[in-house]
Amino acid sequence: MLTRWLAALSLFLVLPLSGNATELAKALQSPHYVLLMRHAYAPGVGDPPHYALDRCEGQRLLNDDGKQQAARIGDWLRAQGVHSAKVLSSIWCRCTETANLLGFGGVSIDPSLGSFFDEPSRAASQNAALQGLLARALSGKGESALILVTHHVNIAEFTSENIGSGDMVLAHIGSQGQLVDFRLYPSP
C-alpha cells in the first residue's frame, strides 16, 4: 500500500499541474518565488586582471557552448510554462548575455546581482543587498516570473549551495527577502 501511494505521489510531482504549466511555472507566478540562475558556461574562473565592467572584451565571456546553453535554458523554461518573465542581471557581460539569450525581452541590470568574487569580504553586504532587491521586486511583480541572472558566489552565499553554469534555483522567499527554502534545477 505504501509503495503504491509513493508511486502515485511521485507521478503527481512530475506531471504538470494544469495545462502546460508545471510546478516551476506555477510557483513563479506567485509573489513568493524567484528563479536565481548562474550565468551560462564561460570557460575559466574569475576574470582576467585589469578587466573593466564597461568593456566586455576584458572579461570572461560565454563561449559558443555557453551561448547555446543560455538559449536552450530559455526554450526549456518556456516548455515548462514560463511565458512571461522580468529578467534582472548582474552587470558582468556573461550574465547580461545569458539573460538576453533566454529570450524574454528586455533585461535590467541590478547592482545587487554583481559578483564579489574578487572581494570576498563583501559577501555579507552583497547578500543583504540581494535580500533587499528580492523584498522589493517580489512585492509588486504580478504573475510574471522573476528571473535573476547572477554569479556562483552570489547564489552560494544566499543558499549555501554550489551550482554549475546555467543551473537554476527556485527560491521561496520571505517578506524580508530571506530564503525560506529552495529547489535546484540543473541546466537542461
Please give the pLDDT value at position 101. 98
Crossing angle for the helix pair 93-101 and 64-79, nearest 10 degrees? 40
Are the CB atoms for 96 and 59 separated by under 8 Å? no
Cell (9 digits) for 66: 555557453
Q: Listing from the earlier edge strand, what are the strands of the sheet with 85-89?
A: 107-109, 85-89, 145-150, 33-38, 168-173, 179-185
Cβ contact 35:147 at 8 Å: yes
Query: 50-69 pLDDT, tens per residue?
Result: 999 999 999 999 999 999 99
pLDDT at 140: 85
- Could you tell me which of 181, 170, 167, 173 has the C-alpha nearest to residue 39? 167
The CATH number of 25-42+56-185 is 3.40.50.1240
> Mind listing the pLDDT tens digit for each residue in 137-170?
998 888 999 999 999 999 999 999 999 999 999 9
Q: Where are the domains of the chain?
A: 25-42+56-185
Q: Quick one: cell of 22? A: 508545471
